[in-house]
Chains A and B, each alone.
Chain A
Amino acid sequence: MTDNQSPAFIHVVGRVNLAEMTGKIDYVVPATSGSQHQSEAADEQIRLDVRDKDKNVLDSVAAVLRRPSCDGGVAQYGLIQENLPRVEGMTEVVLRIGEKVVDRYAPSVPGLAAAVTAAFASVAGAVGLGSMFPSQSRRRRSYTVQVRRGGDENWQTIAVDSPTPDVDVDAGQFPDAERLYSRVLESDGFGWKVIRDGEVALARAQPGAGAVL
Chain B
Amino acid sequence: MDQHKAAIGIPRPAAVARPQQASGPAPFEAAAGPPPPVGSIPPLNVLGLEVTQAVQDVAHHVVLIRGKATVVRAYVVPGSALPRPIRVTGELTWRALPGGATGTLMSVRPVDLPAGAPAHLDTLRDREARSLNFVLPAEALSGSSVELRLNRVTAPGGEPAAPLAGNRDATVRLEPGVPLRIRVIGLRYKDELHSYEPDDLHFRYIRSWLGRAYPVPSVEWSQLTVDAKFSPPFEQPTQVSGGTAEVANSQIAALRAADLATGTHPRTHYYGLVSDGSRDDYFVRGLAFSIPQQPDPTAVASGPAGAGGGFFGDEDESYADWYCGHELGHTFGRYHPGFPPPDVEGGQTKDDLHFPYDDGRISGADPRFVGFDVGDQALGQPMRALPGSSWHDVMTYMPLQWVSPYTYQALYRRIQDEARLHGS
Residues of A within 8 A of B (CB): 1, 7, 11, 13-15, 17, 19-20, 26-27, 29-33, 35-40, 64, 66-73, 75-79, 81, 132, 144, 146-147, 153-161, 167-168, 170, 173
Contact = CB atoms under 8 A, between A and B. Distances in A.
Nearest to A162: B227
Interface in B161-194: 183
Contact of A31 (B239, B260, B263, B287): B260
Contact of A69 (B224, B239, B298, B301): B301
Given A26-B250, A37-B295, A157 B258 contact: yes
Contact of A71 (B222, B241, B266, B349): B349
Contacts of A33: 260, 266
B226 A68 contact: no
B296 interface: yes
B82 interface: no
10 contacts: A15-B246, A26-B250, A29-B258, A31-B257, A36-B296, A38-B298, A68-B288, A69-B9, A154-B264, A157-B259
Given A146-B258, A154-B263, A79 B237 contact: no
B249 interface: yes
A22 B296 CA distance: 26
Nearest to B352: A72
Interface of B: 7-9, 183, 222-227, 237, 239-242, 245-247, 249-251, 253-255, 257-264, 266, 287-301, 327, 330, 336, 348-349, 351, 421-422
Most chain B Cβ neighbours within 10 Å, of A27, A64, A66:
A66
Residue from B226, B239, B262, B348 whose CB has the most chain A CB atoms within 10 Å: B262
Nearest to A28: B254
B298 A37 contact: yes
Contacts of A147: 224
Nearest to B264: A154
Closest 9 CB pairs of A and B: A39-B294, A27-B254, A69-B288, A66-B290, A11-B257, A69-B330, A157-B258, A154-B263, A39-B292
A22 to B, nearest CB: 10
A66 B292 CA distance: 9
B259 A154 contact: yes
B211 to A, nearest CB: 19
Contacts of A68: 8, 237, 242, 245-246, 287-290
A29 B242 contact: no
Given A13-B254, A69-B288, A79 B260 contact: no
Contact of B226 (A19, A81, A159): A159
A103 B222 CA distance: 34
Contacts of A36: 296, 298
A85 to B, nearest CB: 15
Contact of B241 (A67, A77, A157): A77
Nearest to B299: A66
A29 B250 contact: no
A90 B414 CA distance: 38
A156 B349 contact: no
A77 B242 contact: yes
B222 A156 contact: yes
Contact of B421 (A11, A37, A81): A37
A159 B227 contact: yes
A81 B409 CA distance: 29
Of listed A35, A70, A147, residue having the most chain B CB within 10 A: A70
A82 to B, nearest CB: 10
A13 B250 contact: yes
Contact of A13 (B9, B257, B260): B257
Nearest to B183: A156
Contact of A7 (B223, B261, B289): B261
A70 B224 CA distance: 27
Given A37-B294, A73-B351, A156-B224, 11 more contacts: A7-B261, A13-B254, A27-B250, A68-B242, A68-B287, A69-B330, A77-B242, A79-B300, A144-B258, A156-B183, A158-B226
A144 B256 CA distance: 12
Given A37-B295, A71-B349, A154-B263, A79 B258 contact: no
A144 B421 CA distance: 28
Contact of B348 (A14, A40, A70): A70
A67 B349 CA distance: 15
A30 to B, nearest CB: 6
A72 B349 contact: yes
A90 B9 CA distance: 39
A118 to B, nearest CB: 20
B336 A70 contact: yes
